[in-house]
Structure 1
Amino acid sequence: MQHEVIVQAASAPPPLTARRTLSDRLREAVLALADGEGEVTAHHEKAWASITFAGTRHTLGLVFEGAEAVEAGERLIADLPDHEFAIPRQLVADATITAVESTLLPAARMEVACELLLLEDA
């Protein structure tokens, strides 16, 4: 008497997806404020704390190339300081533009540096 053994191939586990970090979320939010235009060319993060608050200070460098992108960068410059960000468990306590460099020739290009202070929101 023969017994038939049926072996089912185990399905592969779903691929692991990388969790978005706070830095990822911040970059996405800043670029969204610039209508998805521009590119983050630098991002530095440093722990920050006072007697009552803890958080991180982020310094970002962005580049906008082309007339449409430069216009989006100008909107970012105007809107960033007063923008209400929606980053889970974080409060953007301060957002400032620290430097802007623009050129028109041979093509429109603008570099923007900004600093954001994020506080942990319990």
Structure 2
Amino acid sequence: MISNPRLPEPAPRIRRNAGDRLRAVLLDLARGQAKITTHSERNWASITFAGARHRLTLEFEGEEAVQAGELFIALLPDHEFAIPGQLVADASIIAVDHRLEPPWMQVSCELLVLEDA
């Protein structure tokens, strides 16, 4: 009798939603130098579009991180997002808090993300 060895079960696929993808893109735009401390999302709709308004707070700690935060502030409003099935219609910085010693920056931003039909 020939035994048939069992193959290991494949790892379950983690389904990422639009908020997960948005956070990943923002952390990439922050050059991996930030941590997201808050993220809220509320549904948004017009006659022709549906989506969500996301408000996030990112913290940058240390001199190198604060420099990445300053670049993040400059790049966010015009960044071309590539999120499958989503269209970022608006991205803006709504608040910045900054401390020199030790170097620290907190950036709050708001993004309107629409479902791309």
Tell me if 1:66 matches 2:62: yes
Tell me if 1:10 matches 2:6: yes
- Larger Rg, first or second structure (1 or 2): 1
Q: Tell me, in whole angstroms, the C-alpha distance in 2 between the residues paired with 1:72 and 1:26.
A: 18
TM-score for both structures, normalised by structure 2: 0.94
Unpaired runs of 5+ in structure 1? none
C-alpha displacement of 1:6: 3.4
Q: Structure 1 runs of 4+ off > 3 angstroms?
A: none
Q: Tell me, in whole angstroms, the C-alpha distance in 1 between the residues paired with 2:30 and 2:5.
A: 48
SS at match of 2:36: strand
Q: Tell me, in whole angstroms, the C-alpha distance in 2 between the residues paired with 1:24 and 1:40.
A: 11
Alignment of 1:69-108 (within 5 A): 69-105=65-101, 107-108=102-103
The answer for the alignment partner of 2:107 in structure 1 is 112
Of 7-16 and 41-50, deviating more is 7-16
Count of residues in correspondence between the two structures: 117
Q: Tell me, in whole angstroms, the C-alpha distance in 2 between the residues paired with 1:64 and 1:73.
A: 6
Q: Tell me, in whole angstroms, the C-alpha distance in 2 between the residues paired with 1:10 and 1:64.
A: 47
Tell me if 1:32 matches 2:28: yes
C-alpha displacement of 1:11: 1.8
Deviations 1:58-114 (A, max 9, x none): 110100000110010011111111111011111100101111000012x10000100
C-alpha displacement of 1:115: 0.4
